[in-house]
Amino acid sequence: MRATLIGRFLLIAIVCLMALLPLWYWASPWLAKPPIWLAGHAMKALFPWADGFEQHGVVATLLTKVQVRMQRGGADVLAELTPEASYPSYGYGLVLLWAMLIASHPHRWWLKGLIGTVILFPVQAWGLCFQWLRDVVLLSGPNGAAYLKYPQWAIDGVAYGYQFGFLMLTPVAPIILWLVFDKRFVAALWLEAALEGKPEATRGGATPTREG
């Protein structure tokens, strides 16, 4: 069976994805620094209750002034909320982008990969920010709600932003970047699909006729 263009692309992309995932996971503590820095400074600039941020490996911790009730030593005490977000939950699109670029191999694919890496940093920061916001606004309990005093529309906006970042933006953004970076390959895929959909011409160009 003849291997189609899309078949070869998918096969190479899957192999590259499997090969790049361990390398990405090893480099994640360094790759996580830019999006965590962006997310942390964005939170401090936009929300007065955000007090700072820390990075421990691939885990980003937001320091807040929001107090919640916790059980400590058998007693009910108040403590500052420090939500955590994991970079790999929002950074895997980087591997997807590089795997697709290697598979389609556009002109200067490595440069486009570097540019795409930088573009994906704000996308990853979006996911980190809204996971922090989800934990603070939606999961902080009555004490957090009383401190924040957010209206219902703001709470719904946080829930939507989190779902959009986790379910849509993180997996779709690298695909959109690849489509922009390799328009010729995408056009070739459409052409192949169009040609595959046409009936094959009869040998010699003759048109069959019905006898009788």
- Looking at every residue in the chain, the average pLDDT score rounds to 88
In a domain, 98, yes or no: yes
Give the Cα separation of 30 and 48 in Å (integer). Answer: 28
pLDDT digits (tens, 9 = 90+) for 134-155: 999 998 888 888 889 999 999 9
In a domain, 207, yes or no: no
In a domain, 208, yes or no: no
Phi, psi values for residue 78, rounded to 5°: -95, 140
Least confident of 41-50, 66-75, 91-100: 66-75
In a domain, 86, yes or no: yes
Report which residue type is found at 5.
Answer: L
Domains in the chain, number = 1
Q: What is the pLDDT of residue 185?
A: 85
Q: What is the pLDDT of residue 202?
A: 42
In a domain, 142, yes or no: yes
The domain of 48 spans: 5-195
Name the band, by pLDDT with cuts 50, 70 and 90, for residue 203: very low
pTM of the model: 0.85
In a domain, 129, yes or no: yes
> Within a 10 A sphere around the Cβ of 154, how many other Cβ atoms?
13
Judge contact between 59 and 78, C-beta under 8 A: no
Name the band, by pLDDT with cuts 50, 70 and 90, for residue 71: low
CA 161 to centroid of chain Cα atoms:
13
Q: What is the pLDDT of residue 48?
A: 94
Helix (H) or strand (E) holding 79: strand 75-80
In a domain, 91, yes or no: yes
Judge contact between 90 and 172, C-beta under 8 A: no
In a domain, 212, yes or no: no
pLDDT digits (tens, 9 = 90+) for 118-129: 999 999 999 999
